Structure 1
Amino acid sequence: MEDGRKEIDPYEFLEYFMSKAAHVVSMDKNGRINVMALLWKTIGELWMIPVITIAVAPSRYTFTLLTEGVQEFTLNIPSEKIANTISITGSLSGRNVDKFKKADLEIIEGKKTKVPTIKDCLLTYECKIVHSCSSGSMASHHLFIGQILTAYASNELTKD
């Protein structure tokens, strides 16, 4: 790809997916986007499709966008170049602040989603929400299960 990324199998580079914090991008129905720092994530299969499950507290603005928005999200694992932005996207609310601007994050248009991705990330996943539910024992969070529509790795990982 011309943007420094290569399409990959979603299960490649799992050591990076599992060990790093992520930026989750969501969008309302009017096209307003938000980014949130996220640690609680997993990848696997459900109904024979590749999925990512994320846990988001109902008090978060991202929760509102995921439940009332375009029903898509992108999950972006930052490179070292932008790793410090996790503290910004994890400490401010998108209700009041444009966190993309505050963290100086650049967006890249999604290939399969309306929701954009973030430049300078090691891994990027574009997802469509296929199911959501309360988390049971983790009653403070809600689970969103997203079908992985496409996944990318940076040239830094693929050595291209």
Structure 2
Amino acid sequence: MKTLPLSKAFTLIEPGPVVLVTTNNGQANNIMTITWTMVMDFSPSFAMTTGPWNYSYAALRETKECVFAIPGADLIDKAVGVGMCSGEDTDKFEKFGLTPVKAKHVRAPLIKECLGNIECRIVDFVDRHNIIVLEGLAAYADSARKDQRMIHAVGDGTFIADGRKFDRKEMMRAKIPSGV
């Protein structure tokens, strides 16, 4: 094995999948691309890392709600493009041809073209670490989409798409909650 600079260690465990986070500040919808998310249990509890350097952060602080929209691998260029411009001066839904869909529990919209969407309420801000803790309120999946692969950021400008699935549900049954 070769030594990897410690400053690049995160590229070995960069979380996934890439998530498009939608917000609505009461006047306009916005989208930001986030690659630092985490599932916190078998419950609908999640966390993400972001802060005031992102335009959407003010809306997250103010409204305490958002949508996690999970793009398929076929949307990689749109997901990267969304992350490369600011909602301060760009209507990202229009620019990237994404369709906002009214959510049931939050003002932020779902994204029609995505594999799945999770309506979320923010339950905590861990300011010291720029972590936002969220609770899922409703979830939606589009099993009819042709491309079901998710994309994962490596952290260095490269991405990996899901490939073959390995089913070990029976082997892990004792650890998986009933109904999952």
- Show the 5 A alignment for 1:1-160: 19-28=16-25, 30-45=26-41, 50-68=44-62, 70-136=63-129, 142-156=130-144
Aligned to 2:79, the other structure's residue is in SS state helix
TM value normalised by structure 2: 0.67
Structure 1 or 2, whichever has the larger Rg, is 2
Structure 1 residue 118 displacement after superposition: 0.2
Question: Match of 1:131, SS?
Answer: strand
Deviation at 1:134, TM superposition (A): 1.9
5+ residue gaps in structure 2? Answer: 1-14, 146-180
CA distance in 1, matches of 2:106, 2:43: 17
Residue type of the alignment partner of 2:61 = T
Q: Which has the higher strand share?
A: 1
Partner amino acid, structure 1, of 2:50: V
3-state SS, counterpart of residue 105 of structure 1: coil
Q: Deviations over 1:8-53 (max 9, x none)?
A: xxxxxxxxxx64211000111x2311100110001124xx952111
CA RMSD of aligned residues (A): 1.9
- Give the distance between the partners of 1:79 and 1:143, measured in 2 at CA: 25
The 8 Å contact of residues 117 and 124 in structure 1, kept in 2 or not, is answered as yes
Output the CA distance in 2 between the equivalents of 1:107 and 1:125: 14
Q: How many residues align?
A: 131
User: What is the percent sequence identity of the aligned residues?
Assistant: 26
In structure 1, stretches of 5+ residues that fail to align are 1-17, 137-141
**Bigger RCO (CA 8 Å, 6+ sep):** 1
Check the 8 A contact 1:122/1:156 in 2, yes or no. Answer: no
